[in-house]
Amino acid sequence: MSKIVLYWHPMSSATPIACALAELGVPHERVKVDIHAGEQRKPAYLALNPNGKVPTLTVDGAPMFEALAIHLWLAGQYGVERGLWPAEGTPERLQAMAWSTWSYVTYGAQLVRLQTARDMGTPDDPHGQAGHKAMDELLALLDQRLASQPWMLGANYSMVDLIVGSVIGYSAYIGAPVQKHPHVLAWLGKVQARPAMQIDA
């Protein structure tokens, strides 16, 4: 098996990756990068991640960055044999890619608007309000999907639930209207109750 190292900081964008590694049962090392002390801007770290952020994952010493890319790589590499990610060439794989990207990119863009307004102490300014409204509409899409099936891909839990659930869970924490969408709320509770989501990360 490849040697996997996760560069992380507690309660950060690296946390869902630590949870994914736990869910998949992938042996790995963790290296803490203290982003409050500026360690992410040191040349040795920038050589692994020119973006200067956590997470970074190295695979036999070769680095990759961006949480979504890491999620998709881990799921494809370790998830199929564990029944947690659909096999290549199946319609379910297409849905897994689509919804994972939807959460980090489409929903994530609105999350950033709300987060920025919140960080500036003005969550109710027009920018924050627009982000809130857009998230409400996107959550309605998700609610519709989860009204007819218990998990993102159908009858069984998969890494898509962990990936999408991590983004939706964080958005709820910063004030997205998740509680208005009953199927999303119930599903999120189940995702967050998984043992892999309880790890100290």
Residues that bind ligand GSH (CB under 6 A): 12-13, 35, 40, 52-54, 65-67
Residue 52 vs 169, nearer CB to ligand GSH: 52
Contact between 154 and 93 (Cβ < 8 Å): no
> Does residue 55 have a cis bond before it (omega within 30 degrees)?
yes
Contacts 24+ apart (CB under 8 A), 147-155: 147/183, 150/187, 150/190, 151/187, 152/95, 152/96, 152/99, 153/86, 153/92, 153/95, 153/96, 154/92
The C-alpha angle with vertex 188 and arms to 57 and 149, in degrees rounded to 5, equals: 105
Q: Least distance in Å: CB of 68 to ligand GSH? A: 7
Q: Least distance in Å: CB of 6 to ligand GSH? A: 12
Q: Least distance in Å: CB of 182 to ligand GSH? A: 29
Residue 65 vs 102, nearer CB to ligand GSH: 65
Residue 5 vs 185, nearer CB to ligand GSH: 5
Residue 80 vs 97, nearer CB to ligand GSH: 97
**Which residue is it, tokens 């959550």?**
139
Q: Least distance in Å: CB of 140 to ligand GSH? A: 25
Q: How many angstroms separate the most distant Cα atoms in the chain?
A: 50
